[in-house]
């Protein structure tokens, strides 16, 4: 598998393209479907017009997230099939510029959509005792050296990259991971008796 490319949203134009909720839904539909789709197929999933989907596709192509995969003749009409490229997007949370607030809003949107999807899955699951049916949520604290943190980061990236393309007997699992180092809690100095 080829190495996944990383795009960092560093300009207002890039942020404006990526922040659009319909484009977020379009990207997710392509990832969940796992194969190229036509604007018409995407319009059925997103419940918007095929012409709107085509506009969103052009913007996502401009950002380098989608490309034309192939065309097929269907009833004499050339249908264009688009695919999501193996690209990860960094919202540039480490950048200190005038897009900081937009980055926070985008992060909130993405995490809220993920959390709402998880809660919906829990509600619809028939066997709620089976984690492989419902999915799972976990949180906690781990204590890592700089080397351990780098190892964990690359382990996660390598694993998700290796499983980003559908295979035989696979189903799409949506995931989100937030990990960050805490600042140490300052120790209180004991008062000395006078």
Average pLDDT, the chain: 90
Can you tell me which residue has the tokens 């207002």? 12
Q: Do 65 and 57 form a contact (C-beta atoms < 8 A)?
A: no
Can you tell me which residue has the tokens 């099939």? 81
State which H helix or E strand residue 69 sits in.
Answer: strand 66-74
Mean pLDDT confidence for 115-133: 85
The C-alpha atoms of residue 165 and residue 30 are separated, in whole angstroms, by: 11
- Asked whether the predicted pLDDT for residue 2 surpasses 70, the reply is no
Mean pLDDT confidence for 59-76: 95
- State residue 97's pLDDT score: 92
Structure tokens at 183: 């600042």
User: Tens digit of pLDDT for each residue in 143-152?
Assistant: 999 999 999 9
Q: How do the domains of the chain map onto residue ranges?
A: 5-162
- State residue 128's pLDDT score: 75
Structure tokens at 27: 């990207």
Q: 120-135 b/e with 16+ CB inside 10 Å = b?
A: eeeeeeeeeeeeeebe
- State residue 157's pLDDT score: 85
Q: For residue 143, give the 3-state DSSP assignment.
A: coil
Predicted model pTM? 0.82
The C-alpha atoms of residue 109 and residue 105 are separated, in whole angstroms, by: 6
Mean pLDDT confidence for 129-151: 89
- State residue 194's pLDDT score: 60
Highest mean predicted confidence (pLDDT) among 64-68, 74-78, 123-127: 64-68
User: Tens digit of pLDDT for each residue in 5-20?
Assistant: 889 999 999 999 999 9
Of the options 3.40.50.720, 1.20.210.10, 1.10.10.10, 3.90.1300.10, the CATH number for the domain spanning 5-162 = 1.10.10.10
Cα dihedral 101/178/133/170 (nearest 10): 90
- State residue 1's pLDDT score: 44
């Amino acid at each position: 598998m080829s190495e996944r490319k990383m795009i960092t949203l560093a300009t207002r134009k890039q942020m404006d393209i990526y922040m659009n909720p319909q484009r977020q839904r379009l990207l997710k539909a392509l990832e969940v479907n796992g194969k190229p789709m036509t604007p018409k197929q995407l319009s059925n999933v997103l419940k918007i017009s095929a012409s709107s989907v085509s506009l969103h596709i052009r913007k996502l192509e401009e950002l380098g997230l989608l490309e034309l995969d192939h065309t097929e003749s269907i009833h004499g009409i050339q249908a264009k099939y688009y695919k999501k490229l193996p690209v990860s997007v960094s919202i540039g949370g480490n950048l200190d510029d005038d897009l900081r607030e937009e980055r926070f809003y985008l992060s909130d949107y993405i995490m809220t959509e993920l959390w709402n999807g998880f809660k919906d899955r829990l509600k619809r699951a028939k066997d709620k005792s089976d984690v492989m049916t419902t999915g799972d949520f976990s949180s906690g604290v781990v204590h890592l050296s700089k080397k351990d943190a780098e190892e964990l980061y690359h382990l996660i990236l390598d694993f998700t990259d290796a499983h980003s393309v559908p295979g035989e007997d696979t189903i799409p699992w949506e995931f989100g991971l937030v990990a960050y180092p805490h600042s140490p809690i300052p120790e209180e100095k004991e008062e000395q008796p006078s």
